[in-house]
Chain A
Amino acid sequence: MTKRIVWIVSTLLLVGLVGCNADTVEEVDPESGTFTLTIEHVFNDTPLELSVDYTTEAGLTVHFTQLRYWVSNVVLTDAEGLSFAVPESYYLFEQTGTGLRNSVIITGVPPGDYTGVTFSIGVDVDHNHSLDTLVGELDAGVDMSWSWSSGFIFLKAEGNYWNDVEQTMNVFKAHLGFDDLYKTVDISLEGSIRVDKTHGGRLVLSAETSMLFDDMDMTVDHSIVGGSEDSPAGTMAENYASCFSVQSTGSRKN
């Protein structure tokens, strides 16, 4: 009985409805399992390290001092096209001077053989503007939001780039946000990933961070704040939307 109550309460919380629509109550699925999503940051296929110089294919030398972004609205899809939208899935992924967080363990995943994963970089319009409505890990106190234009910073990349004219490493910062730049990434898998109460699914993606700079002229666009579709911010957002690829998949017996 207590278990049931706990579930009812957590369902209400997860549906974000405390106090209304109590008729959507359900019970915990004892068959459900976990799914671990990991995103490895790489530069030219090698693990990304902060403050280490890399050179892009186009010949730009850069290094990162931080890379942070919201991963949101994760949806797992099976071969028949049935999907499970992970409730309250808003996660802050980051590689900064204080550490690396690039993985999340999703619990309560209905049993199945999953063949596709969809997620977004950024925060959807319904949750992007009221800084006090916090779902998942969304938090207006972690330097990943703006108050002058209330909303979340979808992706923050900072570091240095080689400025050929000035013959020195100059600072760049890209703080991308605004509804236009909310990008959804579809990953389809070659096989499938099993999830059930005895199997935890696992997906490791690579984020090829060199791609952030594709078609960018850093000598001009080294300080980007905000973003519209047809601006350097828009270009960079297209870049991050396409920088993910599958590194490995698996399913581990608990």
Chain B
Amino acid sequence: MTLTPTGWLRIVGLLLLLPACTPSDSGALFPVPENLGSVLPSPERNPLTVDGVELGRALFYDPILSGNNQVSCSSCHKQELAFSDGEQFSTAGVSGNLLLRHTPALINLAWMDGYFWDGGSFDLESQVYGPLEHVDEMHQNLSELEQELADHPYYPQMFLKAFPEDGITIPNLVRALAQFQRTLISADSPYDLHIRQGSGLTSIELLGFDLFKKKKCANCHVPDHFTDYTYRNNGLDDTFPEDHERLAWGRARITLDPADIGKYKVPTLRNVAITAPYMHDARFMTLTQVLDHYRFHLAESDTVDAEFRRDDGSLGIDMTDEERDLIIVFLKALNDDGFMSNTAFSDPEGLQ
């Protein structure tokens, strides 16, 4: 047999899939502060559009997404707390059960390489399936949700505007939510003004920034994102039990690489003064506790980051109480008050 030209063309067509289409240009509509980057990253299949973002915002605040129509994304991700919730572990889900990890703030998500504390979610689109289907979060049946949206007074219209080709589908729903969340950009703190305009930080805050770099914080919490978006072990634990499907393995739960045991995503420190409690299990209530952890309580393990080793091999970052307090003063200068009050991020119902 020989393949007909058709058959071959089809194979060639599949190979041509590999080179990427030209990236969409959302830049003009959704500008990025220059100290964060030049473009707002988004996958080619889901470029940002005004209608898509608007739909995503409506969905983010709408409890229709949950099985009992009472829980929205904003039940756990509250704008006034930089989209965190202030709790150690949330009980705001449909079941009321305690979640196993702390709710992170949602800041500059577009740049992240993996979502969740362990990066288990590949992209923002895929991430949405997590809360949507989890029994202790929104516990939603996806085909029921599609039906509810189809019967809704304004969603059919909004979906068609945002996705003219096929309107209401679950992939479009997760794409709209991803689009909205990519617009949650925070870079208007006193620090940012300082970087962009040359002034904005007090001399005390500048001393703190200096220490932030000297004491190695900046090696992982790299300015101006205040994270390098990698996964690291900052010495919280020395044992990593396997229960709850290896939850305590952190990044290794996803990569299955023992070298990743106990590693978690380096979180951004933007707005950190208002996103307490801290770490993936929210074990620290205050920034003072966090800093004292780095000074005195780093736990030894095979995977603890080498940044924390002193010359003699022991663990810890040495600083005086005064230096610690100066670093905290600097961290507070990373607060971007406009992020918490920006009406473009707020509940659209609340505005009407």
Contacts and interface: CB of A to CB of B under 8 A. Distances in A.
Given A17-B17, A20-B22, A131 B129 contact: yes
Contacts of A11: 10, 13
Contacts of A15: 13-14, 16-17
A29 interface: yes
Interface in B1-46: 1-7, 9-14, 16-17, 19, 21-22, 43, 45-46
Mostly, the A contact residues are loop
B158 to A, nearest CB: 18
Given A112-B3, A141-B143, A150-B120, A132 B126 contact: yes
Given A82-B2, A178-B256, A132 B7 contact: no
Contacts of B133: 147
B3 A84 contact: yes
B101 to A, nearest CB: 10
B21 A17 contact: yes
Query: Secondary structure at chain B's binding surface: helix, strand, loop or mixed?
Result: helix
A78 to B, nearest CB: 4
B225 interface: no
A24 B21 contact: no
Contacts of A151: 122
A20 B7 contact: no
Interface in B123-163: 123, 125-127, 129-130, 132-134, 142-143
Nearest to A23: B16
A129 B126 CA distance: 8
A26 B126 contact: no
B339 interface: no
A145 B129 contact: yes
A132 B125 contact: yes
A148 B132 CA distance: 12
A150 B127 contact: yes
Nearest to A196: B1
B170 A141 contact: yes
Interface in B226-257: 245, 253-254, 256
Interface size, B (range): 35 or more
A227 B134 CA distance: 21
B129 A140 contact: yes
Given A15-B13, A15-B17, A130 B22 contact: no
A54 to B, nearest CB: 29
A228 interface: yes
A24 B12 contact: yes
Contact of A28 (B6, B143, B175): B6
Contacts of B11: 83-85
B220 interface: no
Interface string A157-196: 0000000000000000000001010000000000000000
A178 to B, nearest CB: 7
A36 to B, nearest CB: 18
A113 B1 CA distance: 6
B346 interface: no
A111 interface: yes
Contacts of A129: 122-123, 126
Given A111-B1, A131-B126, A132-B126, A85 B171 contact: no
Contact of A134 (B5, B9, B120, B171): B171
B207 interface: no
A21 B21 contact: yes
A158 B174 CA distance: 30
A132 B6 contact: no
A21 B143 contact: no
Please indicate which of the listed interface residues B134, B171, B175 has the most CB atoms of chain A within 10 Å of its own CB.
B171
A132 B254 CA distance: 20
Contacts of B116: 148
A106 B133 CA distance: 32
Contacts of B2: 80, 82, 112
Contacts of B142: 140-141
A150 B16 contact: no
B121 interface: yes
Contacts of B174: 131-132
Contacts of B45: 130, 132-133
B174 to A, nearest CB: 5
B123 A130 contact: yes
A84 B7 contact: yes
A112 B9 contact: no
B14 to A, nearest CB: 6
Contacts of B46: 132
Interface of A: 11, 14-17, 19-21, 24, 26-29, 31-32, 78-80, 82-85, 87, 110-114, 129-134, 140-141, 145, 147-151, 178, 180, 225-228, 231
15 contacts: A14-B10, A15-B13, A26-B6, A29-B6, A78-B3, A83-B3, A129-B126, A130-B45, A130-B122, A130-B126, A132-B175, A141-B142, A149-B120, A149-B253, A226-B245
